[in-house]
Amino acid sequence: MTLLCKYYVPGLAMEDHSIDVPLDWAGKTPGESFDGETIKLFYRVVTTPEHVHDDLPLLIFLQGGPGGAGPRLNSPASDGWIEEATKHFRVILPDQRGTGRSSRVDTHAMARIAAAYEGDAAGTARAQADFLKKFLADSIVRDFEHLRLTEFDGRKWVTMGQSYGGFLTLTYLSLFPAGVIASFTTGGIPHVPADATEVYEHTFPRMARKTAQFYERYPQDRERVETLADKLPTVADVTEFTNTLHDSVLGSMAETDIDHRLGLIAGMAAHGFPLLPNGDPLTVERLQCLGSDFGMKPSFERVHWILDDVFLTSDGSSCADADLSDEFLAKVMNATASRPLYWPLQEFIYANGEMDEPIRWAAQRVRDRHPEFGTETRPLNFTGEAMFPWMFEQESTLRPFKPAMDVLMEDTRFGVIYDEDQLARNEVPLQAAVYFDDMYVDSGMQLDTLSRVGNSHYWTTNEFEHDGLHGSVVFKHLWDEALNRGDLEELF
State mean pLDDT over 471-492: 94
Closest CA to 68 of 161, 148, 149: 161
- Greater confidence, 260 or 214? 214
pLDDT at res. 267 = 84
The answer to whether residues 141 and 224 belong to one domain is no
**Measured between alpha carbons, how far is 214 from 401 in angstroms, rounded to an integer?**
33
162 and 224 belong to one structural domain? no
pLDDT confidence tier of residue 338, bands split at 50, 70 and 90:
confident
pLDDT at 131: 98
Q: Are residues 211 and 155 in the same domain?
A: no
Q: Per-residue pLDDT for 137 more than 80?
A: yes
Query: 339 or 247: which carries more pLDDT confidence?
Result: 339
**Number of neighbouring beta carbons within 10 Å of residue 395:** 20
Least confident piece of the model among 178-187, 270-279, 470-479: 270-279
Q: Is the dihedral of CA 148, 151, 156, 162 positive or negative?
A: negative
Cα of 150 vs its chain's centroid, Å:
28
This prediction has a pTM of 0.96
Q: Is the preceding peptide bond at 379 cis, omega within 30 degrees of 0?
A: yes
How many structural domains are present in the chain? 2
Residue by residue, DSSP assigns 355-394 as -SS----HHHHHHTT-GGGSTT-SSPPPP-S---TTHHHH
Residue 244 lies inside a defined structural domain of this protein: no
| Mean pLDDT (the chain, rounded) | 95
At residue 413, does pLDDT exceed 80?
Answer: yes
Q: What is the mean pLDDT of residues 2-14?
A: 96
Q: Residues 230-267: pLDDT tens digits? A: 999 999 999 998 888 766 665 555 556 666 677 788 88
Residues 45-88: tens digit of each pLDDT? 999 999 999 999 999 999 999 999 999 999 999 998 999 999 99
**Given pLDDT bands bounded at 50, 70 and 90, which one contains residue 92?**
very high
Same domain, 395 and 463: no
* 264 belongs to a structural domain: no
Q: What's residue 250's pLDDT?
A: 55
- Answer yes or no: do 400 and 334 share one domain: yes
Judged by average pLDDT, the poorest of 32-46, 264-278, 400-414 is 264-278
Is the same domain home to 438 and 363?
A: no
209, 109: one domain: no
Residues 353 and 398 in one domain: yes
Helix axis angle, 258-271 relative to 235-245, nearest 10°? 120
| Confidence class for position 177, pLDDT limits 50, 70, 90 | very high
Distance between first and last Cα of the chain = 25
Residue 256 domain flag: no
Residue 143 CA to its chain's centroid (Å): 19
Same domain, 437 and 374: no
Position 260 scores a pLDDT of 65
pLDDT score for 251: 56
Per-residue model confidence (pLDDT) at position 249: 60
pLDDT, mean of residues 161-173: 98
Amino acid at 211: T
From 408, 440, 473, the end of a domain falls on 408
Residue 242 placed within a domain = no
**pLDDT score at 248:** 67
Same domain, 23 and 50: yes
Q: Is 301 in the same domain as 392?
A: yes
Give tens-digit pLDDT for 265-324.
888 888 889 999 999 999 999 999 999 999 998 999 999 999 999 999 989 888 888 999
**Domain range for 155:** 3-120+135-194+417-491
Compute how many other C-beta atoms are within 10 angstroms of the C-beta atom of residue 253: 16
Query: pLDDT digit string (tens) for 343-402?
Result: 999 999 999 999 999 999 999 999 999 999 999 999 999 999 999 999 999 999 999 999
pLDDT (tens digit per residue) in 93-105: 999 999 999 999 9
Amino acid 475: pLDDT: 97
Is 450 within the bounds of a domain? yes
Looking at the fold, whether 329 and 351 belong to one and the same domain comes out as yes
What is the per-residue pLDDT for 253? 52
Q: What percent of the chain has pLDDT over 90?
A: 89
Supply the CATH number for residue 63's domain.
3.40.50.1820
